Every structure is written in structure tokens, then in C-alpha cells.
Structure 1
Amino acid sequence: MLVHLHVKNLALIEESEVEFGPGLNILTGETGAGKSILLGSIQLILGGKTSRSMIRENASYALIELLFQVENTKARESLAALDIYPEDGQVLMSRKIMDGRSINKINGETSTVSQMKAAAACLLDIHGQHEHQSLLYGDRQLAILDVYGKEQILPAREKVRKAYQEYRNCVDQLKALDMDEEQRNREKAFLEFEINEIEEAALIPGEDETLEDRYRKLSNARRIMETAQMVRVMTGYEQGAADMTGNALKEFSRIADYDKDLAPLQEALVEIDSLLSDFCRDLSSYMDSLTFDEETFFETEKRLDLINSLKAKYGQTIHEILSYQKEQQEKLEKLQRIPASHRQIIIHTFCHKDLVKIDNSVVEGCRTC
């Protein structure tokens, strides 16, 4: 409900405030007193056009403010859909008109003219001698008529809506399939190329990690061998750690019987000697098995290059590449089925179009009853 109107510097009005109460409110006055200007100010909030001539002479701006008390639940829901929420149950709408521009606000927040117009439509309607605000909008005229018809029109209208939706879906599918033969062949050729390229690679999930480990080992074989040889000398039995530990154990054994507190130290030294012996043996076995096969290195590098080139095109992992291949295969199969699908969709489209015409004629008949 409109509870307050404030107008300032608009046409002949210097400043005026009007309080509205529940029920019928009547504005009276002599001709030229400003009744039409007050009603016209409300039109401006509804999105009416503004001009410099509306501003009172010698004033820099004109201001219109409308205060609404929102108690209707439906109005609250409509405002909420516009992201407008009453403060203490009230909505304040204002429009400040200046030379060449205007500032619109709803509850103190700047808004566009279209937002003001939409919000006002939830709160206010104007009936005049020659106009009805709602009837000015074509999209609401049929809605008003349908609400008037109620049970007689709404079921038939819902049937039309569903049939039209199906018809639009068919039209959209036809547009998606509406490509010439040359374009379809190009698309099929491209899909076949991608699918074949991935198939020929014969990818195995996880093989890239295995190949990377092998490549890293082969590419660093010389450094591995040199470092392993140096460590074997340092830990071996030819003046290495194992040789020195063995000598230390031999010397320590000669004094161990003199003091029982030396027994734990002797056991630790025996453990160290045993660990060094195992380490030297395992290191020697590893070095004996380490070989550099140039052909294996070349094949590994070539395979990795192929996998990495596929990753650059189709996915970051082998799993993603295989998933991409599956998606492209489905697209190709869909393209190959297009001629049959095309005919079927055309049939459905015309069927639904006829249903829309038949059902719509029923609705039109109800509206003219």
C-alpha cells in the first residue's frame, strides 16, 4: 500500500507531501492546483520519461519519493525475486531528476529504470480515464484473460505449453543436426583421425610412470656406475670401511673378555660388520646387473615422446587420453546415425507442431467464449 508521496521541484510544485491512509483516498482541488502533477510524479517512478522541462524554474533538480507499506505476501515474494527486501515492512522508491540524467534508488540503493519499473509493478497499478497500467504490457494481457477464464482455460493452456516445449526441443535438435554433408564429412574425418591416433598408440594405464623411471635410470647410467664404484671402494674390503671394520672387530675381540661391559659394544661392532658385508654384496650384485642398452634407451625415449605428444593434445594422463578417445568415439557414432535421427526428429517436429496448433485452437476458443 502507498502510504506517503513526497514531490519537490517538479513543474509548478515547490514541495509537497501527501499521506495516504487505508481504503479510498481522494485528491481534490481547483483546476491547475497540481493534482495531475502529483499523479504524473508516480508515473515517473514507474519508468516514465524525464526531461529538463519537468524541473521547476530556478531549481537544479526535481525529486519524487514513494513510500510503500508491504503487507501482501505475494508482493513480498515478487520483490524478493527482484532481490528487494522491505525494511521494517516498508519500501522507499525515489527518483532524482537532473539536467540530462536521473538517479533512481530503492531503499537507498541505486537502481536502473528497468529495476524501478519492475519493483513498482509489484506494488502499484494506475487506473485512469483512458489507461490501465497493466494493460499497457502485451505480455500481461493474455495472463489477465486466462486468470479470468480460470478452470475453463488453464488446463488447455498447460497442454499447449507442454506441446510447444516439445516442439521447440525438436526444432533445437534439428538446428544442431542441420549441417551440410561436406561439414559432416570433415567432422567425421577429424574424429576418425584422433581416434586412430590414440588406438595405434596402444596405451596401457601406468606405463608412462614405468617408462619415466626406466628412462631416468638409463639416461643416468654412467653417473650411477661411477658413483656406485666409488662407494664400493670406500665401503669394500680393500682398505675400505668393511676392511677397517673387520680389523677393528678383530682388535676389539682381544680385550672383550677383560671387561663384561665391553660385550654390548662388541655386539654392536659385529652388527656393523655384518651390515657392511651385506651392503657390499648387494652393491656388487647391483653393479653386475647394471647394463646400458642403447637400443632399449632409444625405444624408451621414442615411446615417451609419443605418449607426451598425446598428452599435449588429449589429456594430462593416460586415463584422460583414453576417456577422450571414448568421448570422440561416441561423437563419431552419433554423426554416423544422423541421417536416421534427422528423419525421425523431422517427423516428431511436425507431429508436435500440429499438436500445438490443435491445442492452441482449443485455448483460443475458450478465450472467446
Structure 2
Amino acid sequence: MLTNLTIKNYALIDELHVSFSTGLTIITGETGAGKSILLGGLSLVLGKRADLSHVKDNSKKCVIEATFDIAKYNLKSVFKTEDLDYESQTIIRREILPSGKSRAFINDTPVNLDSLQVLGERLLDIHSQHQTIQLTNDNFQFQVIDALAKNETILETYSASLKEFKHLKSELKTLQDKKNTAIKELDYHTFLLKELEEAKLVEGELESLEDEYETLNNVEEIKEKLSLSHSLMSNEDIGIITHLTELKNHFSKLSGYSNPYNSVFERIQSSLIELDDVFSEIENLQEQLEADPNRLEQVNAKLQIINNLLQKHTVSSIKELLQIKDELSSKVIETEGLDALISEKETAINTLKSKLIVEAESIRKNRITIIPKLSTQLESILATLGMPNAKFNIKIEPTHSFLNNGRDELQFLFSANKGGQFNELKKSASGGELSRIMLAIKSVLSKYMQLPTIMFDEIDTGVSGEISNKMATIMQQMSKTMQVFTITHLPQIAAKGDAHFKVFKEDVNNVTQTQLKQLNPNDRIVEIAQMLGGTDVSSSAIAHAKELLN
């Protein structure tokens, strides 16, 4: 419910702060006093787009702030979805800056207008003769029927099943598309995979093959160089080892004289050991080296295969080729296994489809059962509102499609006159009739679900005093379970309120301002007397006002 409203620098309002309570709240005032300004400010809180022309003083910020007690509204899931902090006392603030930029906040968290509208429509319902489009909307009509049918729990189950059903169908389509694409590519992938498998690639072998190729391809030159190297080291006359051995022998005798000679001797001895090792390695290389034209051909062929594959797959290493091989293998295996996955997904979809059908049937059964009761209640209320011949013909027809709220199509037909043809509401009811129908529907709904605060904006226009009294009684009954506001010009309705506010204009420092004042009991008598007889209040008008209030 709306508990507090603050408006600053909006239209003709300089600054306004008012608190509201439960029950039926009446708002009255002369035409042009500013009731529409109040509604305009509330509409901004609900997410309506801002207009700088509504700002009273363009040099200052315009602020509209509303506090709602939402403890009974079960809105925690909405706050979670919108990523907002839940507070049982929720404050919505709208600001229009001098620059024309608009900002919105929910519990001091900045939000966009979409989030504001999502929450706003669950907190406040502003209804006038010109705002009955909701009444002709299928979703709203289903909401009415399902509220009476107590379908809330099963609709939640159905909704969850439908969400999973759509998700599985999406996954199935993805698999089927994947299969179609994979089938087209399977032959090519298989060919590439076979080519890589036949190459028998080993990570790191490219470098060893290149070394082996260079060796085999230059075997004669290598032999020659190794032979010369062997002679340089081992020749009796000029060999390096021979001379170094002789040098070692000389320093062997000197090493005993002092440390410097011994140090040189140890270095010569160390070099000789290293040269002996090198000499042995050269001999090993000579023994291992031999010309092998066949092996050279094999190595060359393997290198050509590897280089062709590297070029073909635009990579630079065998490691990358092996990765491609694994990926191709996975694709081939995946393609071969897609049928099993598709079959598994189809089974799950069929199982869930059967569950959805059962749930939808249960929803339909509850709807069909409750329709006669809804028609009777609405027709009874409308009869008291001056529409004694109003009749409803509500039809539920099954459909094969899974809709968001079941598998039904709805025809909400209406006839206002005896013997008249049934037709869609928007084609068979006038604006005034639609307003009374909406009042009747909201009245019925208030008995079955927690409705948001509702504000009726002069929906009593054009009705008689007797009917307006019935309308007021209905609003009064509704206000026992919800907060109801009504803006009215009729004293019969104004007298039924638990609280009464008057909108009026006054001149402050030669500037016209709109004010909102809560009336005390004596003020109410005068206000209702003026509504009965004009500004010149007579004693009979006062008496009549007291009678209405009592």
C-alpha cells in the first residue's frame, strides 16, 4: 500500500508531503484544481517518461518520492530478478534534473524505467474511464479466471515445465543443426583424420628427422672432415694429443717446484683428458657414420609428408598437428554419437510434453468449473450498478499449442442488453460500461488475491446518485482487503471514505499553487455539502451531508 507521497517542484506543486492509510481514501476537488497533477506525479513513480515541461521551476530539481508497504505482496522474486535489495518499506524516487535528464531509484538503487514499470504495476493500479484496455486483454482475462480457479500453484508448475520444455527443444534443434552440418563435413573430417593418422606423427620428431636428413645427405663431406680431425689429433708427428702429451711430461717435472707450475700442469692434464674424450667421440662418430641411400629416401619422404601437413593446416609444429588430429577425432566421434544424443533429448521432450498436457488439462478443468460462478458474480454486481441485463458468455477452447498459461484460447464475450448479441468486450461495451465492468472484476478479484493499491479516477462520471452509492459500497468492501483511492465528484461516494483529501488551488506570493489537505470531520461535512449544493452551503445541504456521512 501507498503510505507516503512527497512531490517537489512539479507542475503547480511547490512542495507537498502527505501520508495515507489503509481502507478507502477519497480525493475531491473542483475541476482544474490539480487532481490530474497528483495522478501525473504518481505515474512518474510508476515509470512514465518524464517531461521537462512538467517541472515548476526549471532551475531546480523536481522530485517525486513514494513509500510503499509491500510486506503482503510476495515481491521478493521480482526484486531478485531485477537485482534489487528487498525492503518491506520500499521507497521509489523519481528525479527530473534542470538539464531535462531523468533518474529513477528503488531503495536508493539507480534503476532504468523498465525495472520501475515492472515493480510499479505491482504496486499501484491507476484506473479511469479511458484506461480500460487492460480489461480487453486476454492475459488479464485469464488472470481473473485463474484467480477464482485457484490455479496459481499449478500454473507455477506448468510454467516451470514449459520453460524446461522450451529449453530442451532449443537444445534438440542445436543438436539437429549440428548433425546436419557435421554430416556435410564428416567425409572431409574423416579424410583429414586418416591422413594425420597415417603420418604416424610423434611430437619432437621433426627436429630429429631434419638432423638425420642433413647427416645422411652430407655423409661424404662429414666422413672427410671426421678423418682429418682424427689425424690432427692422433698423428705421431703433428697430432695435437701427441704434442699435448709431451707438454704434460715436461710440466710433470716442473710441477714439484712451485704451485704456479703445478697449476699449469693440472690444466694441461685436464685439457688432455677432455681431448681424449673428444677423440673417442670422433672415433664413435666415424664408426656410426655410413652412407644409407634407402634411409635417406625414407627420411626425405617423411619430412615431405610433415611439411605438407604443416602447410595444409597452416601450423608450425607437430604438436599443433597432433592437436588438430585430436579435434578431428572428437568431431568424427561426436558426429557418430549425435544420433544417440538426439534420441535421448527427444525422449526427454516427449516425457515433458506428456507432463505439460496433464498440467494444462488440470488448468482447463479448473477454469471451466469456475466460469459459471464468475459470470454469476459479475452479472450480479453489474445489476446493482445499473446494468440489469448484462450477460457474460465466457468460453474456453483447447488448442494444440503450449501457451504461457496453458493450452487454452479464451473468448470473453459480453452483451449489455436483453436479447443482444454476444460480442467482444471492446466491441459491445461503452466506456462507462467498461469502467463498471472493471470495477466489478476488481471487486471479485479482491476476494481471491492480494491486489495492488488501486486508484479509481472519476469512473463514476455520468452515473446516477443511486448507482454511485452502489459503486461506493463496492469500493468500501474492496478496501477491507486492499488500499483503494477514488477521485470523485459525487457526494454519495465521497461520504463512504475512511479518509478524505481535498485538492485545491491557492495563490502564494502571487503564484498559483496546488495543495492537498486531509479533511477533519467538520471539514468533510462542509466539503460534501458543497458537492451537494454548491459553494453557498445551506442548512439542508449540511443536514444531507451529515446524513450521508452517518
TM-score of the superposed pair, with normalisation by structure 2:
0.49
Superposed CA offset, 1:148-205 (max 9, x none): 655xx356445644664565466446645778xxx95x85353122213322432577
CA apart distance, 1:249: 0.7
Structure 1: gaps (5+ residues): none
2:196 corresponding residue in structure 1: 201
For residue 7 of structure 1, what is the amino acid of its counterpart?
A: K
1:212 corresponding residue in structure 2: 207
For residue 365 of structure 1, what is the amino acid of its counterpart?
A: K
Contact 2:3 2:68 in 1 (8 A): yes
More displaced 10-residue stretch of structure 1: 301-310 or 17-26: 17-26
CA distance in 2, matches of 1:289, 1:354: 77
Question: Secondary structure of the equivalent of 1:47?
Answer: coil
CA apart distance, 1:136: 9.9
- Label 1:359 to 1:78 Cα distance change in 2 as closer, same or farther (>3 A): closer
- Label 1:105 to 1:255 Cα distance change in 2 as closer, same or farther (>3 A): same
- Label 1:348 to 1:231 Cα distance change in 2 as closer, same or farther (>3 A): same
For residue 210 of structure 1, what is the amino acid of its counterpart?
A: E
For residue 36 of structure 1, what is the amino acid of its counterpart?
A: S
Q: Does 1:303 align with 2:305?
A: yes
2:245 corresponding residue in structure 1: 246
Contact 1:46 1:120 in 2 (8 A): yes
* Map 1:81-100 → 2, pairs under 5 A: 81-85=81-85, 91=91, 93-96=93-96
Question: Secondary structure of the equivalent of 1:104?
Answer: strand
CA distance in 2, matches of 1:25, 1:247: 125
- Label 1:102 to 1:115 Cα distance change in 2 as closer, same or farther (>3 A): farther
- Label 1:231 to 1:110 Cα distance change in 2 as closer, same or farther (>3 A): farther
For residue 363 of structure 2, what is the amino acid of its counterpart?
A: V
* Map 1:123-162 → 2, pairs under 5 A: 124-126=123-125, 128=127, 153=151, 156-157=154-155, 160-161=158-159
CA distance in 2, matches of 1:226, 1:27: 115
Superposed CA offset, 1:273-331 (max 9, x none): 22220122203422553567552442132121244246448x96344233223322234
- Label 1:35 to 1:260 Cα distance change in 2 as closer, same or farther (>3 A): closer
Contact 2:4 2:19 in 1 (8 A): yes
Q: Does 1:276 align with 2:271?
A: no
Q: Does 1:236 align with 2:233?
A: yes
- Label 1:287 to 1:119 Cα distance change in 2 as closer, same or farther (>3 A): farther
For residue 361 of structure 2, what is the amino acid of its counterpart?
A: S
- Label 1:301 to 1:272 Cα distance change in 2 as closer, same or farther (>3 A): same
Structure 2: gaps (5+ residues): 371-550
- Label 1:76 to 1:228 Cα distance change in 2 as closer, same or farther (>3 A): farther
Contact 1:311 1:317 in 2 (8 A): no
1:359 corresponding residue in structure 2: 359
CA distance in 1, matches of 2:175, 2:80: 41
1:7 corresponding residue in structure 2: 8
Question: Secondary structure of the equivalent of 2:208?
Answer: helix
* Map 1:59-70 → 2, pairs under 5 A: 63-68=62-67
Contact 1:62 1:96 in 2 (8 A): yes
- The structure with the largest alpha-carbon Rg is 2
1:321 corresponding residue in structure 2: 324
Q: Does 1:44 align with 2:44?
A: yes
For residue 8 of structure 2, what is the amino acid of its counterpart?
A: V
Question: Secondary structure of the equivalent of 1:48?
Answer: coil
Contact 1:6 1:18 in 2 (8 A): yes
Contact 1:45 1:64 in 2 (8 A): no
Superposed CA offset, 1:41-64 (max 9, x none): 1112212355576455x8589834
Question: Secondary structure of the equivalent of 1:317?
Answer: helix
- Label 1:333 to 1:283 Cα distance change in 2 as closer, same or farther (>3 A): same
CA distance in 2, matches of 1:86, 1:160: 27
CA apart distance, 1:222: 5.6
Contact 1:96 1:102 in 2 (8 A): yes
CA distance in 2, matches of 1:49, 1:164: 34
CA distance in 1, matches of 2:15, 2:175: 64
For residue 33 of structure 1, what is the amino acid of its counterpart?
A: A
Question: Secondary structure of the equivalent of 1:5?
Answer: strand
More displaced 10-residue stretch of structure 1: 317-326 or 260-269: 260-269
TM-score of the superposed pair, with normalisation by structure 1:
0.68
CA distance in 2, matches of 1:244, 1:135: 116
CA distance in 2, matches of 1:248, 1:233: 20
Contact 1:63 1:97 in 2 (8 A): yes
- Label 1:63 to 1:19 Cα distance change in 2 as closer, same or farther (>3 A): same
- Label 1:216 to 1:116 Cα distance change in 2 as closer, same or farther (>3 A): farther
* Map 1:24-35 → 2, pairs under 5 A: 30-31=29-30, 32-35=32-35
- Label 1:106 to 1:287 Cα distance change in 2 as closer, same or farther (>3 A): farther
For residue 233 of structure 2, what is the amino acid of its counterpart?
A: G
Contact 2:6 2:64 in 1 (8 A): yes
Contact 1:2 1:68 in 2 (8 A): yes
